[in-house]
Structure 1
Amino acid sequence: MKKITIAIDGFSSCGKSTMAKDLAKEIGYIYVDTGAMYRSVTLYALRHNLFNADGSIREEELKTQMKNIDISFQLNKTTGRPDTFLNGENVEKDIRSMEVSSHVSPIAALPFVRTALVAQQQRMGAGKGIVMDGRDIGTVVFPDAELKIFVTASAEVRAQRRYDELKAKGMEANFNDILKNVEERDYIDSHRATSPLRKAPDAIELDNSNLTIAQQQQWLYEQYRKVAE
């Protein structure tokens, strides 16, 4: 098997991270959750009062403080998956909150944030043997990736998955609020000026609205084998 770069893009809450994490674990690749990186910047901004009362971002202050934001991933021996660390603190649970979810798309739309994180992502994947998921992996971060997947599902299905995920973690959740957030993020992610969410011309599309996790994993593994063998 040759080492390749696997880029998985798609809408929020469509199971990209679960698919990517499980595939990376199965084939022994490095996994990078780029969405977690943008969520970490968002969490930093929330904690440092870089949002105004109207929800707008204090862009110049955030731009100045980007050098203070260190994002890394460490393997969780219990789950077998990587946890996200912000300046040395495990923030895996914190970055999944609805507060972060409702603020992340405007942060991710900032060109200076994307430039900084894309450069970091490209360094992470320079040696191949990597699975990376996000919004612009196959179009911007790794346009030459050997395998590109674009994942989609209906907004209602994605909202239900997000609701179930939060409840399973013991976190407060309201389905209608989550559905509204999913739809708002879809619009922002698809219409931002810098690196908008779009399917790469050579990406394989997967609508997983009616697929189980096991079915998704089998499908993804088959796509990997077709390219890597």
Structure 2
Amino acid sequence: MIIAIDGPAASGKGTLAKRLAEHLGFHCLDTGLLYRAVARDVAWLGFRLDDTWAAVAVARGLDPRELEDPDLRGTAAGDAASIVARIPEVRAALLAYQRDFARRPPGAVLDGRDIGTVVCPGADVKIFVTATPEVRARRRFAEFEARGAGVAYETVLSDILVRDARDAGRPNAPMMVAPDAMLLETSNLSIEAAFDAAVGLIKRKISHPGRS
């Protein structure tokens, strides 16, 4: 079984994907880490993030074992990732790995922005997780405060809006809701409530495969 979890930054899709994978005994892949790792290595080599040749070369030689780098979880890494993710050749280079991962038995949960539309259009279950920009900004702001980072809420909200526009506006594999995806709005949901809602959606989809 393949479960596709898509959504914008700070919507809670990553946390949800991990919880679902643990609950179901499935493998889990945060596909955004692939692009973050590519951006990290391109910068480390001294190239511009929008240098197609360098980004593609790094993507083709990326070692998935290096995805455990904690620095890849930071906001800066996410912003950098959204730049290399705009390069069609980079997305193509990483596509085979993502699809191979999705076929791992007994099942896999993949989260990103184009899982249900491009990476795994035939996924058994597709959930698009979202929340208002203000809620997502407050979540990200709370993370910064917990780490002692002095970032203003207004700056975080502005970054969220820029990231949304960049992800949704890229010409290749833009972030969008798949026609057969189920929407999960988490603005007013706790992590536990969002998890319970997602499990309910999965059960409904499995029981009635023809519905979305």
User: Scaled by the length of structure 1, what TM-score is found?
Assistant: 0.83
Q: Which amino acid aligns with 1:50?
A: F
Aligned to 2:57: 64
* Bigger helix share: 2
The whole-number CA distance in structure 2 between the counterparts of 1:5 and 1:57 is: 32
1:70-89 equivalences under 5 Å are 70-72=63-65, 85-86=66-67
Root mean square deviation, CA, Å: 1.7
Query: For the Cα contact (< 8 Å) 1:101–1:181, is it kept in 2?
Result: no
> Which ranges in structure 1 are unaligned for 5 or more consecutive residues?
73-84
* Bigger strand share: 1
1:1-229 equivalences under 5 Å are 4-51=1-48, 57-72=50-65, 85-86=66-67, 90-91=68-69, 93-127=70-104, 129-228=107-206
SS state at 1:119 partner: helix
> Which ranges in structure 2 are unaligned for 5 or more consecutive residues?
208-212
User: Scaled by the length of structure 2, what TM-score is found?
Assistant: 0.90
Q: Which amino acid aligns with 1:130?
A: A
C-alpha distance after superposition, 1:36-84 (max 9, x if no partner): 1111111112222222xxxx62222222333332123xxxxxxxxxxxx
CA shift for structure 1 position 173: 3.4
CA shift for structure 1 position 172: 4.9
Equivalent pairs: percent with the same residue? 36
CA shift for structure 1 position 184: 0.8
SS state at 2:109 partner: strand
Q: Which amino acid aligns with 2:52?
A: E
The whole-number CA distance in structure 2 between the counterparts of 1:147 and 1:32 is: 15
